[in-house]
A and B are shown apart, each in its own frame.
Chain A
Amino acid sequence: MNAIEVRGLRKTYGGHTAVAGVDLTVAEGEVFALLGPNGAGKTTTTEILEGHRRRDGGEVRVLGVDPATADRRWRADIGIVLQTATDAADLTVREMVGQFAGYYPDPRGVDEVIDLCGLTEKAGARISSLSGGQRRRVDVALGIVGRPKLLFLDEPTTGFDPEVRRQFWDLVRSLAAEGTTILLTTHYLDEAEALAGRLAVIAAGRIVAEGTPRTVGGRDRAPATVSWVDAGGQHHLNTTDPVRAVTELAARGRVSELQVRQPSLEDVYLNLIGAKA
């Protein structure tokens, strides 16, 4: 069974179409990234799948159920990390995690979750005293304390410093290794590339490409650029067979500044979302 199945999802706010016919399939156990710039419709799509917002059209199945009519049992199987929250400032980390553990039928141990999220030193601290990155890890702790089958992470690492981001990526990988299905939204390419087995690029409410980080947007088939300098000056050659081009070049004699450049995920992405680099 697929964890998430979406067909023709639509959502408009007033006259503005935020999601314009999105199709998505996420298999069980997969880490799937929804990659897109601000305002692309990532949060709207995610929150419809979480049952937080109503859709205006399309078919949605999350763990086999329509989120608009889902019950408590379904909520026990999903974990949600929202894009923003500033609640519970006057509770400590352990009090908050303990409270939420009590809402689930089969929670993880409170200290286990706190440890997993790297918050052991802060377990007794008021949430209001935490840094932005630590607060975000509390959000994650609350999202995974119920041992979800499916975890939603909406821009989980925005504002993290590089080291904390690496730690967070390790946490996501260990959750994935346990079999948790993860839907991640991000506008960081390196995050999608590091974590996702598959990804979809969303822009202006539409999925513009889908695939693995290696193949998305035809990245594996796109022409490479071979460039070099010789007596005649600087040369650039776009070719789908860069190996042959370099071999021929070698046969012709000395060249300098030889470079073969294949499109990076960033090139593909910027091209897809229509922001020419």
Chain B
Amino acid sequence: MTTTTARPRPQARPAAPLPSTLANGLARGAAEVKMFFRSKEAVIFTFSFPAFVLLLLGSIFDTGEAMPGGASMSQVFAASMIAYGILNTAFTSVGVGIAADREDGTLKRLRGTPITASAYFIGKIILVAVATVAEVALLLAVGVVAFGLELPTAPSTWLTFGWILLLSVIACTLVGIAASGLAKSGKNAATVLNLPVIALQFTSGVFVAISSLPDVMVKVAAFFPVRWMGQGFRSVLLPDSMAVGEVAGSWELPVVALVLGAWCVVGLLLCLLTFRWTERKAG
């Protein structure tokens, strides 16, 4: 016996509610994290790079003699390198990642679906959070094992570490998203974005102790977040006696909060002004 069933025409179905931005953002985040850790080049050459630099330069600076304040040069270096690690995962990786998403069609494909731009950003933020926590853990491990860095024990110090980390990540991610538009293509994004990163490392006292930098350089670098990120992490990971090595002779945590907070706002504004779904040449 044959029964005929009316073919369900697509338009006959009742309109189901659109999925929420949060649910889609979490799904994007899961996909982003998977893609990041599955890409061997990204993990080896991008993610492990700061730890590699820390090992290399830390060993070169490891002269054995203590600096004024008691800690060794390589310990100061290990603390400052956290700033580079965050810059690497939050600013460079996000900037390069978005430029690549724009170039390989990821963004265009997403834009053709009902997903919201916010869900895409939630995905990036999840990726940054996971990658940054892993990066910082890796750098701390190298600092402790190779250079005798002592991790703080007081909860209040970890609290300080927490807010400096959070503000740094938000500021760097937002500026990274905005900066992704500077690169004309995904291919040259890494080059374009590494330029300010390298320049800021040197002028902000990450690769070189801030006390040995020329005055003008320090003044200019004070407008950018990296200097304050490095100073913040040194305040948490080094004994308080080391504050003598800072420009003001103290850790200046309120200024750290102020500058990083300001960069969060600036980053958000830059993002809203410059974010593009597609490459500049596409109509």
Contact = CB atoms under 8 A, between A and B. Distances in A.
B111 A85 contact: no
Interface string B79-102: 000000000000000000000010
Contacts of B34: 90-91, 95
Contact of B114 (A72, A95, A180): A72
Contact of B283 (A53, A82, A148, A149): A53
Contacts of A95: 31, 34
B15 A87 contact: no
Interface string A59-93: 00000000000001101101010101111101100
A102 interface: yes
Contacts of B19: 102-105
A82 B109 contact: yes
Nearest to B278: A52
A179 interface: yes
Contacts of A91: 31, 34-35
Nearest to B101: A87
Interface majority SS (helix, strand, loop, mixed), chain A: loop
Interface in B6-34: 7-11, 13, 15-19, 23-24, 27-28, 31, 34
Contacts, number: 100
A54 B283 contact: yes
A106 B13 contact: yes
Contacts of B104: 85-87
A175 B176 CA distance: 42
A163 interface: no
Nearest to A80: B112
Interface of A: 11, 13, 28, 44, 50-54, 72-73, 75-76, 78, 80, 82, 84-88, 90-91, 95, 99-100, 102-106, 126, 142, 146-149, 177-180
Counting from the closest, the 6 A-B pairs by CB-CB distance are A85-B105, A105-B16, A87-B106, A80-B112, A179-B9, A72-B114
Interface of B: 7-11, 13, 15-19, 23-24, 27-28, 31, 34-35, 38-39, 101, 104-106, 108-109, 111-116, 278, 282-283
